[in-house]
Every structure is written in structure tokens, then in C-alpha cells.
Structure 1
Amino acid sequence: MKLPACAAALPPAVLLAALAGMVATPAAHATAHATALPSANMEAVVKAAQIDPRRPDDTLTPGAKAGVLLVERALRDRRLLDAKWVDGYFGTTTVAAYAKYQKSLGLTGSDANGLPGRTSLTKLGAGRFKVTGVISPGARVSVGAYVVNARTRSMLKEAKRLLGRDFELDQGSYNPGGDPTSAGTHDGGGVVDISVKGMDSATRTAVVRALRLVGFAAWLRSPQQDDWPWHIHAVAISDTDLSSQAQHQIGDYYLGLNGLAGRGPDDGPKVTIRTWEEYQRR
């Protein structure tokens, strides 16, 4: 770097300050590089990964295309996804590719379910994109006799606050090999069954509504629907530990369906669909 001739006449302190402004430090370069990276909004990407595989067409999930494209390009460059599927649509092919990527990291079970989790998405984006709108299920904790994760427990607590009453679980999460009539929905996180013992019809509906308001896809189930006594089945939207079966139920909920194998119309109270994170920001 060549300084102008007049620089020699400057006081040393002034000269050093001038040089500091002219020379970019390595830290400054790193900051500038990080700032230049595009953003993948995890909330939007996870939402698309739940809904898109259940759509009857190739409609894109609103607000998710940019982030999904970043994920799909990274999977393509790892030779896990053919270029023809890099389209902003997080369908079954992209879910399967993402699950392969998760397994390549040594992840198993609900950590390799094809839904982008914080750890896998951050690693996939290293040097390519930064992750915003992070979702974390948190640690596994207990609610009564049942295991759930911290996010689910917080959601249940808020639903109880809205109701002004308590309710009890019949089944928790992370329960592979549990009741076979659950069809694997409780194998991962974010899923609970709630007892309706002692509740009248109006109270049952009020509980379902409160659960939906805080971010669950929730339905009142009868013995005729799933060979289980009357209960409320609740699935935490966008919980990244969801089993594949529970992911399908979330996608169907967004599409106005009841989450059962027959994919009938939603029979629960109508509310604005929000995730737990969206509920907290409202």
C-alpha cells in the first residue's frame, strides 16, 4: 500500500487511525462473508417439508421457495438429489434425500426423519447459507408418567392456561412399539393423546380448540375412528422430531383433512393454523 507524501507529516496517532481504516482485518472479511450468505428460514422450510408431500399437486408452500431451493441445491451438490427435483417443492423425493443426508451424518431414528433439524440444516448450509427462524424441540422431559420434549411441554402448559383447567395424557411421545393402533405416530416427538374422561361435549371441543390455538394439529377421536377409547390426539406442528406418520398428519391438517388414513375432511373446530413459534409472536 502506497501512502500519499503528506502522510509523513501526520502525527503518529492520526496515521495509525488512518491505516486502521484502510486495512481490512480477517475478522472483518469473515463478517462480510457471513453477511453475504443467503438465508434459509427454517420455519418455512420445515412447514413445506410437512405440507408438500401431502399435496395433490405441485403448489409451492407460500414463503418457503427460497429456503427450499437453498436446501435442494446443497443436496444436489452432495449427489443426494437429482437436479430435476431442485424446484422449491419439498416433496417426497426431497424428504427422502434429506433423510439420506441426515443418516450420512450418523443420525438415526427421529433425527433422520427427513425434516430439517437445527443441527443437520446448519451443517448442510455451512459456507452456503445461514439458518434463521430456528426451531428446536428441546430436551426430553416428563409430563406426569409420559415423556415429551420441552417444546411440547410448553405448548401443553399454555393450552391449559388458556382453558383455565388441567387435563391428563393417555400417551406421550418417543414411544416406539407402543400401542399398535397409533400406527407409528407416537414413535417420535411432538405427539400426545389426551384423556377426555369426565369431559362433556363442549369441554372436549374447548380442549381441542385450545390445543389448536397454541400450535397443535388436534382432533377428538372416537373408538370407531381408530380402535381406541375416546381421546384427543394432538400433534405439535413443525416439531422436528416428528415420525413420518405424524408428519403426514400435519400436512393433512394444513390441507383441511382429519389426519386419518381415509383422509376425510377436518371435523374439529376451525382456528387460524399457527405453529408454536408463530403463536408466541402474535
Structure 2
Amino acid sequence: MRRPWFAVGLAALCAAVAVPAHAWALTSDATAQRTSTTAARPVVDMEATVLAAQIDPRRADNTLTPGAKSSVLAVEQALQAKNLLDAQWVDGYFGTLTVSAYAAYQRSLGYTGLAANGLPGTTSLTKLGLNRYTVTNTIGPGTKVTRDGFVVNARTQAMLAETQRLLDYTLVLEQGSYNPGGDPTSAGTHDGGGVVDIAVTGMTAAKRTAVARALRQVGFAAWVRDPSQGDWPWHIHAAAINDTDLSSQAQNQVGDYYLGMNGLANHGPDDGPRIPIKTWEQYQRAQ
């Protein structure tokens, strides 16, 4: 009986390269197994993971951030494998203990300051997932630039530029980012990236609200601040959601914003224009 053409082809190929047919089959099986193993690795959505790290620690319960559970679980399992997080906290909830564990992991890599703030960065998240998971939807603050005499990062600058386009109005900063201790009344929110204060001189109440709404539209947690709330003049305070350089205080403000609060120490209700909340990346994809 004649052998099928593919059997003859395989035998001829093996003979040509001096490899026994059974060895070829074993090699093919091993390659297929490695491919299957790689394909089966969890996928960590960095956008969702960073968002959960801002919101979850501010919750009064253990509600999970929508769309983040599987990604957070994969990160927590990796932290547990490094003995940085107890098994009981591997639950898909990026709470304060997970933030602390991730910050400890960042420090183990030699990071300090903002680079060890407990918010996953692309490099640390990828290293943590080596041979465990793959990372998608990576985000980052970009390089530092100067605007109105203040330092901001490229991501914040792009968000402000888009806000101006929507408003057809030029915004002027009265405080920038990366300003540790520069303004004690800011309670540390400007110590890292992603946070700015916008001057409102000459703006009507309606214009202030319109600016806050546009800032929120592109992915800022933004509020109009007035002197009755603290030791400051009228201004608009804005924190860029999912900026991985956010100080701990600014992370808390973003989490409070998602939970309907005003971002102040009194945890009052949000007094700004309510619109569907989006990150900068979500806003860009929707255009």
C-alpha cells in the first residue's frame, strides 16, 4: 500500500537534514507546547490596572474596578510569588496592601521617589510579569516639558492642548507638576506629575464651569476651587487620571473623583459638572 504523500514528504525532509522522523516529531511537539504555553499566559491591561490602583484604595468596601479583575489578579499573583503579598489579598482588588506590595517591588528594583509610588509603570510591570503574563495598553507620562514657566509632562501637556481646542480658549497655569513642597496648601498633590492649577482671572462663573467640564472630558479629575474651601484664591485644580507619576495624594484625589467626591480632605460630594468619566487614552480612542 502506498504511503500518503505527506508521509513521504516528511520522510524525505528528515532524510535530507539527517534528522530521524521521530526526532522531528518530538521537536515539533515541543515547539507547539511552548507556543501553547505562551498563548495561555494571562494578559494584564495596564490602563485598567493603574486605574484600579487609584480607585480601589479609596473605596469603603471591596467592590472591584470594572474590567480590572483579571489583570489585577495576575499582578497580585506575581507579587505573592515574590513573597511581597499574602495569599489572602490575591483577590483582584488593588487596595492599600497591594499598592504597598507593588511599591516594595519597585524599591526592590532600585526605584525611589515617584518611581516607587505603588502605581505600576511599564518597565516594572513588564519585569514583574516575566514568564507569567503579557502587558497590553501600556501608558506613561512622557518627558518633562515647560508650560507657562512651570514643569509638566508630555501627557499632561497634550491633555491641556486638547482642552484648549475644545474650548477655543487659552488656559494659563498658576501651578504646575513636580513641585514637592512648593505650595503647602496643595497637600502634596503637586509633588508628582499630572497635576496643575489653572488661573481663572477674568472668567465668569459659567466659564469656570465650562473649563472644568472640558478638562474632565479629556481625562482630568477637575474642580473649581474657591477661597471658602481652603487657604487659596479662586482657581481650577486638575489631576490627570492614570498618570503614573501621580503623588500618593493626587492618586487619592483621582480615586475620590471616580467615587463622586470633591477630592478635598472633607470627602464632600463632587461639586463639579458630572459627565461620563474617561481617561485620556479612552478619550483618544473615542475620537
Q: Given the two structures, how large is their TM-score scaled by the length of structure 2? A: 0.90
Residue in structure 2 matching 1:63, options 39, 54, 67: 67
Deviations 1:35-94 (A, max 9, x none): 332101111111111111000111111111101110111111101111111111111111
Distance 2:202 2:255 in 1: 31
Aligned to 2:76: 72
The secondary structure found in structure 1 opposite 2:221 is strand
1:133 is displaced (CA, Å) by: 1.2
Pairing 1:130–2:134 present: yes
Residue in structure 1 matching 2:104, options 89, 100, 103: 100
Aligned to 1:266: 270
Deviations 1:196-252 (A, max 9, x none): 011111111110000000000000001121211110000000111100000000000
Distance 1:209 1:31 in 2: 48
Distance 2:270 2:84 in 1: 36
Distance 1:8 1:158 in 2: 61
- What RMSD in Å do the two structures reach over aligned CA positions? 2.6
The secondary structure found in structure 2 opposite 1:115 is coil
Aligned to 1:52: 56
Distance 1:30 1:253 in 2: 44
The secondary structure found in structure 1 opposite 2:159 is helix
Identity within the alignment, %: 64
Aligned to 2:41: 37
Give the 5 Å matches for 1:164-179: 164-179=168-183
Give the 5 Å matches for 1:22-33: 24=28, 32-33=36-37
Q: Are the structure 2 counterparts of residues 7 and 175 from structure 1 closer, same or farther at C-alpha, using a change threshold of 3 Å?
A: same
Q: Are the structure 2 counterparts of residues 8 and 225 from structure 1 closer, same or farther at C-alpha, using a change threshold of 3 Å?
A: closer
Residue in structure 2 matching 1:228, options 232, 240, 261: 232
Give the 5 Å matches for 1:242-253: 242-253=246-257
Give the 5 Å matches for 1:110-121: 110-121=114-125
Output the amino acid matched with 1:119: T
Distance 1:187 1:9 in 2: 65
Distance 2:150 2:10 in 1: 76
Distance 1:43 1:234 in 2: 19
Pairing 1:149–2:153 present: yes
Runs of 5+ consecutive residues of structure 2 not aligned to the other structure: none
Q: Are the structure 2 counterparts of residues 123 and 10 from structure 1 closer, same or farther at C-alpha, using a change threshold of 3 Å?
A: closer
1:135 is displaced (CA, Å) by: 1.1
Distance 2:59 2:32 in 1: 45
Runs of 5+ consecutive residues of structure 1 not aligned to the other structure: none
The secondary structure found in structure 1 opposite 2:243 is coil
Distance 1:278 1:136 in 2: 14
Residue in structure 1 matching 2:204, options 200, 207, 228: 200
The secondary structure found in structure 1 opposite 2:165 is helix
Count of matched residue pairs = 278
Aligned to 2:87: 83
Q: Given the two structures, how large is their TM-score scaled by the length of structure 1? A: 0.91
Distance 1:27 1:143 in 2: 53
Distance 1:9 1:128 in 2: 35
